[in-house]
Amino acid sequence: MDSYFDIIVAGGGPAGLTAAIYARRAGRSVLVLEKEGFGGQIASAPKVENFPGLPAISGAELADRLYGQAEALGARIELEQVLEIRDGRPWTVTTDYGTYRCAAVILATGMRRRTLGLPGEERLPGVSFCAVCDGAFYAGKDVAVCGGGNTALQDALFLADLCRHVTLIHRRQAFRGDPILAEALARRENVSFALDTVVTALLGQERLTGLALRDAAGRERTLAVDGLFEAVGQLPERALSASLVAVDAAGFIRAGEDCRTGVPGIFAAGDCRTKEVRQLTTACADGAVAALSACRWCEAAGAD
């Protein structure tokens, strides 16, 4: 099987798949490598309502459509984890399954989830990081969502349709997420808010039975719940980028609006790039820009 591609895209989220669509339409051979699941974070969004032209679509369906569009255009797409990128002219990309070479690499590696850092959170049944994936297990039960961004607000709305009661726990009064979502939540009878409040401990031995909470005034209480959905944001994926390209203090790849990193032939697109606004639309925009920059690079480098 051919192991040389004009462009290899590391990451199969909206930025990476959009890059593949643009690069294929420009006639370039493209390999997309994704380590976990196609669609990135958006695949677990219950509903996407801010993608222009698609007033309401599930994140999973949008991810499927992006994947299908890239594949139909002839992009090769593999579920493989990129372990190393080295050499340049051509770049050698090593994954857990093999080795590929390419003229240009687009890093579209997105973000990984932030956690609360509480003892037991990665192993205690009842703690989840994905409402769409796990919400059905909590039908008719009492759950809490922790976080104040759009993910937490959307997860709480999604769970309010399934669960007996949802408590949204946020460390501040003001939400970071869109007011339209917070207002929709406030109208739900089975949703309550624990604001200015943090989770200090997970309760339960075999599985989660409740949460220890502390508010801004220092008052402590427990909340009985069957499930906790953590939605406290994302951190940049540093594993690949740290040794390859310049990153900022938080770990985001330094690249301008043309998505060029300081390393010739390496481009960065989507949430992993330094930028002001991280949204689905800006990830897709980056994918397009990075692909066109990479195509120009291939042309200049004489890749045919």
Q: Is 130 a catalytic residue?
A: yes
Stretch that binds ligand NAP, among 65-73, 129-137, 140-148, 292-300 (CB under 6 A): 140-148
Q: Pick the closer one to ligand NAP by CB: 92 or 115.
A: 115
Return left, alpha or beta for 9; rule: phi > 0 is left, psi -120 to 50 is alpha, else beta: beta
Residue 280 CA to residue 286 CA, distance in Å, equals 10
CA 14 to chain centre: 9
CB atoms within 10 A of CB 168: 29
Q: Is 295 a catalytic residue?
A: no
Dihedrals φ, ψ of 209, to 5°?
-120, -15
DSSP per position, 128-174: ES-HHHHGGGGTTSEEEEE-SSHHHHHHHHHHHTTSSEEEEE-SSSS
Question: What tokens were used for 33?
Answer: 């490598």
Stretch that binds ligand NAP, among 28-36, 80-88, 135-143, 276-284 (CB under 6 A): 276-284
Q: Report whether 104 contacts 265 (CB < 8 A).
A: yes
Residue 116 C-beta: closest distance to ligand NAP, Å:
5
Task: Residue 225: name the closest of 132, 296, 176, 156 by CA.
Answer: 156
Q: Pick the closer one to ligand NAP by CB: 48 or 298.
A: 48
Task: Say how many residues touch ligand NAP, by CB under 6 A.
Answer: 24
With residue 8 as reference, give the H or E element that holds it: strand 4-10
Q: Give the one residue of 20, 48, 63, 194 binding ligand NAP; rule: CB under 6 A.
A: 48
Q: Which residue is nearest to ligand NAP (CB)?
A: 149
Stretch that binds ligand NAP, among 91-99, 159-167, 219-227, 275-283 (CB under 6 A): 275-283
According to the binding rule CB under 6 A, does residue 148 interact with ligand NAP?
A: yes
The single residue of 87, 133, 248, 258 carrying the catalytic annotation is 133
According to the binding rule CB under 6 A, does residue 44 interact with ligand NAP?
A: no
Q: Report whether 252 contacts 272 (CB < 8 A).
A: yes
Q: Pick the closer one to ligand NAP by CB: 170 or 260.
A: 170
The single residue of 2, 87, 102, 130 carrying the catalytic annotation is 130
Between 150 and 179, how does the x/- string for binding to ligand NAP read (CB under 6 A)? xxx-x----------------xx---x---
Question: What tokens were used for 152?
Answer: 């937490």
Between 89 and 128, how does the x/- string for binding to ligand NAP read (CB under 6 A)? -------------------------x-x------------
The single residue of 2, 64, 87, 134 carrying the catalytic annotation is 134
Dihedrals φ, ψ of 105, to 5°?
-120, 135
By annotation, the residues acting in catalysis are 130, 133-134
**Binding positions for ligand NAP, rule: CB under 6 A:** 45, 48, 50, 114, 116, 146-152, 154, 171-172, 176, 198, 231-234, 278-280
